[in-house]
């Protein structure tokens, strides 16, 4: 009798453990949905949030984009409807946020999915449009000034906001003032005033020594140096 009672107790415990394990399993998502814009680290000043991306093997006709605070408060949530003849999607979301600059998370989630079911997520700063500086903005965030760079290619990253036609020139200049490499850059910035991120590769060739990376744009037919960093190129 004691043996039978022990077996029954063990069976109950096994069922309970199995139930608890299944309740904590990460939800299974069908297909993939990726957010390609805005990027991690962008700052949104415009009153409308433009979100775009790609999807694959997603059978449903729609999903949702939500904007949440770090503590989980939902600022806005919007449906995104899938078009069958393309692998891309986009949505424009009037968010109504007018407060101070705050970190938020933009998430792609299934409709009526579990709270922790997330296809993709990016973190950015959301700020009222009145907080944006009035002038055009741009910066080179990497590499940093006085960095020593090795290799055939230099990866350059930065930010841009309010540039004429969303364009600028990225130029690598040697110590003697000669142009070593140059690229005409166009950033994707639908509402122009947001601060978006960009990346590019520049090639120094056989040059070694001190050089300057310049970010240049034009305004009123005048070239303007927005930002620059001085680096040392070595073999």
CATH number of 32-131: 2.60.40.1220
d(CA 215, CA 227): 5
Same fold, 32-131 and 137-234: yes
Taking only the tens place, the pLDDT of each residue in 46-83 is 999 999 999 998 888 899 999 999 998 999 999 999 88
Report the chain's mean pLDDT, rounded to a whole number.
87
Which segments in the chain show pLDDT lower than 50?
3-26
Which of 155-194 are b and which e, b meaning 16 or more Cβ less than 10 Å from the residue's Cβ? ebebbbbbbeebebebbbbbeeeeebbeeebebebbebbb
Domain limits of the chain? 32-131, 137-234
d(CA 157, CA 144): 10
- Give me the pLDDT at residue 61, please: 86
- Give me the pLDDT at residue 14, please: 46
- Give me the pLDDT at residue 28, please: 62
Look at the pTM and tell me if it is higher than 0.85: no
d(CA 35, CA 106): 9
Q: Euclidean distance between the first and final Cα of the chain, in Å? A: 82
Beta bridge partners of 57: none
Kindly state the helix (H) or strand (E) to which residue 199 belongs, with its residue range. Answer: strand 196-202
- Give the HSE-up count for residue 18: Cα atoms under 13 Å, Cβ half-sphere: 6
State phi, psi for 11 to the nearest 5 degrees: -65, -40
Domain formed by 137-234, architecture: Sandwich (2.60)
Q: Cis peptide before 143, with omega less than 30 degrees from 0?
A: yes
- Give me the pLDDT at residue 98, please: 87
């Amino acid at each position: 009798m004691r043996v039978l009672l022990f077996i029954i107790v063990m069976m109950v415990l096994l069922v309970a453990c199995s139930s608890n394990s299944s309740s904590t399993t990460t939800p299974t998502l069908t297909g993939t949905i990726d957010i390609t814009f805005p990027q991690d680290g962008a700052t949104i000043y415009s009153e409308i949030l433009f979100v775009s991306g790609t999807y694959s093997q997603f059978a449903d006709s729609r999903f949702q984009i939500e904007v949440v605070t770090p503590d989980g408060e939902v600022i806005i949530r919007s449906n995104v409807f899938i078009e069958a003849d393309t692998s891309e999607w986009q949505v424009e979301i009037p968010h109504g946020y007018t407060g101070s600059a705050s970190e938020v998370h933009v998430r792609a989630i299934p409709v009526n999915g579990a709270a922790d079911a997330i296809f993709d997520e990016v973190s950015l700063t959301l700020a009222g449009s009145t907080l944006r500086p009035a002038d055009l903005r741009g910066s080179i965030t990497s590499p940093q000034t006085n960095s020593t760079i090795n290799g055939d290619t230099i990866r350059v990253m930065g930010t841009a906001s309010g540039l004429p036609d969303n364009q600028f020139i990225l130029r690598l200049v040697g110590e003697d003032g000669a142009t070593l490499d140059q690229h005409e850059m166009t950033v994707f910035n639908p509402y122009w005033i947001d601060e978006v991120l960009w990346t590019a590769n520049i090639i120094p060739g056989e040059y070694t020594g001190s050089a300057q990376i310049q970010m240049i744009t034009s305004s009123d037919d005048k070239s303007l140096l927005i930002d620059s960093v001085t680096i040392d190129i070595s073999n």
